Amino acid sequence: MGLRDQIRNHVDKAILNTNHFAQEITYTPDGGSATTIRAIMVYDAGFGVQILDEGEEERKTAMARVKSSDVESPQRGETISDGTTTWSITGVTRGMDFMTTLNLIAIGDVLKSRRGRRETI
């Protein structure tokens, strides 16, 4: 058994272990039911800017590393909740390591508004 097979067989025990790096989050696919999955959350992963008709707004951002089989076909606009903040998926990167990275932006949590009206996503 090679390293790749070992990682695939132990991703839950090692990488997504809630006693170490991971935490439980709620994933809600568009038109589907909410599901509790495990993720490694990386907060303040840069900044998100939402362009509006009359300006732009900065929002909190994060990334969630999840097991690919837990989110078979995640789409932009679906949501993740970590118990404190609800996040909208803005991008998806499928990795070669059985993990998927979800780029997230906080819903309704405006950090700064410039020359524009306030609007939540």
Q: What pLDDT was estimated at residue 79?
A: 95
Tens digit of pLDDT for each residue in 72-115?
Answer: 899 999 999 999 999 999 899 988 778 999 999 888 765 555 55
Which is more confident, 1 or 82? 82
Using a 10 angstrom Cβ sphere, with 0-12 exposed, 13-18 middle and 19 or more buried, the burial of residue 118 is exposed
CB 109 within 8 A of CB 85: yes
Residue 119, pLDDT > 70, answer no
3-114: CATH architecture: Beta Barrel (2.40)
Tens digit of pLDDT for each residue in 21-77?
Answer: 899 999 999 999 999 999 999 987 665 555 555 556 667 889 999 999 999 899 999
Q: What pLDDT was estimated at residue 1?
A: 75
pTM score, whole prediction: 0.77
Using a 10 angstrom Cβ sphere, with 0-12 exposed, 13-18 middle and 19 or more buried, the burial of residue 30 is exposed
